[in-house]
Amino acid sequence: MKQSVKKKLWLMYSILVILITTIGLSPLVIPTFVFNPKLFGVPYTLWMGFILTSLLVILTFLGSKVHPGEDNSKS
């Protein structure tokens, strides 16, 4: 993969992480005293939080594939 493409993708994933973080801390995910709609009996904030956390880990995986930095030598 070209370095310029890697840089663009890395930037895109970084923006997505910031976006997910913002959503995760907004009333969209943490509304006060709201636990509906439930998913298989699991309250709203918990299942949404679980999905967002999983997305962050997936973005970490994708980010590691396109991170523009290189170092293969020992520190």
- Interface ranges with other proteins (CB under 8 A): 13-14, 17, 21, 24-25, 29-35, 38, 40-46, 49-50, 52-57, 59-61, 63-64, 67, 69-75
Length of the chain (residues): 75
Residue 6 beta carbon to other proteins: minimum distance, rounded to whole angstroms: 12
Q: Which is nearer to other proteins, 5 or 58 (CB)?
A: 58
Name the token pair of 42: 């699991």
Which residues are CB-contacts of 29 (< 8 A; sequence separation ≥ 6)? 23, 45, 48, 49, 52
Closer by beta carbon to other proteins, 4 or else 75:
75
Q: Kindly tell me which of 4 and 73 has the beta carbon lying closer to other proteins.
A: 73
